[in-house]
Structure 1
Amino acid sequence: MATTVIADLCIFLLTWNVGTHSPREQQLNSLLALNGTTTCPDNQLPDIYVIGMQEVSTKQVLNIFQDDPWVLKIAGALQEHQFVKVEAKQLQGILITMFAHHKHVPHMKNIETEATRTGLGGLWGNKGAVSIRLSLYGTGAVFVCSHLAAHDDKLKERIEDYHQIVDNHKYHAQGYPRIFDHDFVFWFGDLNFRLSGDMSAWDVRTDVENMRYADLLKLDQLNLLREKGNAFSLLEEQQPNFAPTFKFVEGTNDYDLKRRPAWCDRILHRVQNNVYPGVTLSATQLSYQSHTDYTLSDHRPVSATFSYKVETSNQTYTDEELHDMTHGAASPGTSAPSSKYKKRCGRRSKGDT
């Protein structure tokens, strides 16, 4: 059976709560895998970077004509490697930006951004989500960066934030009006999930020092929620094999035991594998790590890389033809052929409705 590869990309995702700090003194080469070592196949640089940040300083948020200093800093690190900024979206302190190697830009269409405020009744936007969606080599992909309600006792609010984001994020692309209509979903950020139970901060730290991560992750609120189907159950997560990423004394790798250490910073994904006849979609996770050298804030940055593949069997689709199949013909007033091809099953699970 002949297989044609339409896309074979390495996508790098990063989430970091920067605690309102400026990027001035930060060297980003190691963080962005520009130092000669990557987790992509054959040690190549990623094809696409999607970076989400929380608690970005909002001092410049009113200057709508200039990118945030963090976006400019990332652009400066990437531009010499022939990456260009595709899009950025900011909602108060929540920021998402996408960079792609210039050779991929012609294969990116229908780019949209969206934002949902959840904090303080949605008035201020200190919590919520921003997203970028696009047709990527003909497939529908969405990247969501969120910052959910903080503190141990605010689990109910985090669940509500999640559902508010899912319900309120809406796009104009044919066939992809909502987050989970997309073929590929990547959701990351400071999700703020803590550990259930009443272990003391000192006991949690002891387990961390002894690398008993698996035991602690049995108490992780996000894992428990996904099992019950209350939130995030449509998404998958590779279990963290790194120490909790919150809360540190700034500038050190010492936990600030005013809070119990927790895996607040997470990266999840979802692929609808078999929605098109003869087309196979896959996103194989290649890495999941925290970056302990970056001690700027009380959170550690977390990154993941994915092998993003679009393949066809006994078909000779170009990505243009796949785009027409998935997103519908471009001419206005034309009904999307995607409904003819796309199996609409599995859009929402019982637990996430």
Structure 2
Amino acid sequence: MVTTTAIADLCIFLLTWNVGTHSPRTQELSSLLSLNGTTTCPDNQLPDIYVIGFQEVSTTQVLKIFQDDPWVLKIASTLQDHQFVKVDSKQLQGILITMFAQHKHIPHMKNIESEATRTGLGGLWGNKGAVSIRLSLYGTGVVFVCSHLAAHDDKLKERIEDYHQIVDNHKYSAQGYRSIFDHDFVFWFGDLNFRLSGVMSAWDVRTDVENARYADLLKLDQLNLLREKGNAFSLLEEQQPDFPPTFKFNEGTNDYDLKRRPAWCDRILHRVQSNIYPGITLSANQLSYQSHMDYMLSDHRPVSATFSYKVEAANQTYTDEELHEMTHGAASTPAAPNLFNAELEQW
């Protein structure tokens, strides 16, 4: 009889949102972060970890050393009554990623690193590109990548180039996990800017959307077509969206701005190397994938996903410290987590 021991059993909440340079000042985020009883985590529990990616964060404010972006501060203030701690943040001009975890998980996080890659203007400008956070989480190597790829229908080639540039240039110091796809778990999300192939008019796309013909439209989706051909993102999986295209809306409304064809620009993908360690099974089962139509701040809608993140051992008992030695090497020096909460100051 096989006995299974859970080394980790977590619910991870991912969110991506192109905020169109808007301030979070008037935004109420409790519903967006599933703090109002709408969580899709098992037993209606709050997520163990939040990883949130933003695109087009305003960079007009005077940057202060040691001060977080207003969006990070807003998230911190929203989560502060629920025992969450900021683990790390990384910003590249308007691209931002931040990670919060329940306090009890902090001792199980090591080797925390962040990275950034510019892809705008041939790699000179950070308006496009990616930021990431990687770490040892309960002994396994996990990386979260938030990217903003080249815009417009006719820039598919540039989006593919952006992807490969990010994969090639993101480098980490953790032993055994030097690049993104060395990791046991990869979560990649953001405004990937993929559009619909073909020549359908914006009006025809809207008609299909109004009739919930998402499956037909997704057959034209550039990201799906690329993954099938192996040109980009083919190592990652995606649960197919069952929600309307998240771009492009008239701000403050749920009406599409038909100057652009509606498209699923905002996406969340993942990859798990399930059985690469003897006697250990890794899994990340997706529990939800949804857009948040009530958040009409910008011309994009936020998109979230939750995952059941499990690390299980068969017929043996591992601690996550022992698994860390197996995966990251006994000689690696864990980097201490950043244990301070984001400053809750005015912006």
Identity of aligned residues (%): 89
Give 1:60 shift: 3.3
Give 1:59 shift: 1.9
- Are 2:113 and 1:112 equivalent residues in the alignment? yes
Which stretch of structure 1 is more off in the superposition, 239-248 or 61-70? 61-70
Contact 1:16 1:189 in 2 (8 A): yes
- For residues 138 and 24 of structure 2, the distance between their equivalents in structure 1, rounded to whole angstroms, comes to 33
The number of equivalent residue pairs is 332
Contact 2:13 2:49 in 1 (8 A): yes
Give 1:102 shift: 0.2
Contact 2:175 2:332 in 1 (8 A): no
- Are 2:281 and 1:280 equivalent residues in the alignment? yes
Instruction: Give 1:14's aligned residue.
Output: 15
Contact 1:61 1:92 in 2 (8 A): no
Instruction: Give 2:44's aligned residue.
Output: 43
Instruction: Give 1:175's aligned residue.
Output: 176
- Are 2:101 and 1:103 equivalent residues in the alignment? no
Give 1:122 shift: 1.9
Gaps of 5+ in 1: 333-353
- Are 2:324 and 1:323 equivalent residues in the alignment? yes
SS of the equivalent of 1:118 reads strand
Give 1:87 shift: 0.1
- For residues 11 and 192 of structure 1, the distance between their equivalents in structure 2, rounded to whole angstroms, comes to 24
SS of the equivalent of 1:294 reads coil
Instruction: Give 1:291's aligned residue.
Output: 292
Instruction: Give 1:338's aligned residue.
Output: none
Instruction: Give 1:347's aligned residue.
Output: none
- For residues 316 and 178 of structure 2, the distance between their equivalents in structure 1, rounded to whole angstroms, comes to 28
Contact 1:208 1:243 in 2 (8 A): yes
Give 1:61 shift: 6.4
Give 1:121 shift: 1.8
Give 1:233 shift: 0.1
Give CA-to-partner distance per residue, 1:12-31, whole Å, 9 cap, x none.
Answer: 00000000000000000000
- For residues 165 and 7 of structure 1, the distance between their equivalents in structure 2, rounded to whole angstroms, comes to 29
Instruction: Give 1:214's aligned residue.
Output: 215
Structure 1 residues 260, 331: closer, same or farther in 2, change over 3 A?
closer
- For residues 256 and 306 of structure 1, the distance between their equivalents in structure 2, rounded to whole angstroms, comes to 32
Gaps of 5+ in 2: 334-347
Structure 1 residues 173, 331: closer, same or farther in 2, change over 3 A?
closer
Contact 1:60 1:68 in 2 (8 A): no
Query: 1:177-326 alignment to 2 at 5 Å?
Result: 177-326=178-327
SS of the equivalent of 1:214 reads helix
TM-score relative to the length of structure 1? 0.93
Give CA-to-partner distance per residue, 1:260-280, whole Å, 9 cap, x none.
Answer: 000000000000001000000
TM-score relative to the length of structure 2? 0.95
Instruction: Give 1:348's aligned residue.
Output: none
Give 1:149 shift: 0.0
SS of the equivalent of 1:127 reads strand
Q: Write the letter of the residue equivalent to 2:282.
A: L
SS of the equivalent of 1:247 reads coil
Q: Write the letter of the residue equivalent to 1:302.
A: V
- For residues 79 and 285 of structure 2, the distance between their equivalents in structure 1, rounded to whole angstroms, comes to 24
* Structure with more contact order per residue of length (Cα contacts < 8 Å, sep ≥ 6): 2
SS of the equivalent of 1:125 reads strand
- For residues 250 and 205 of structure 2, the distance between their equivalents in structure 1, rounded to whole angstroms, comes to 16
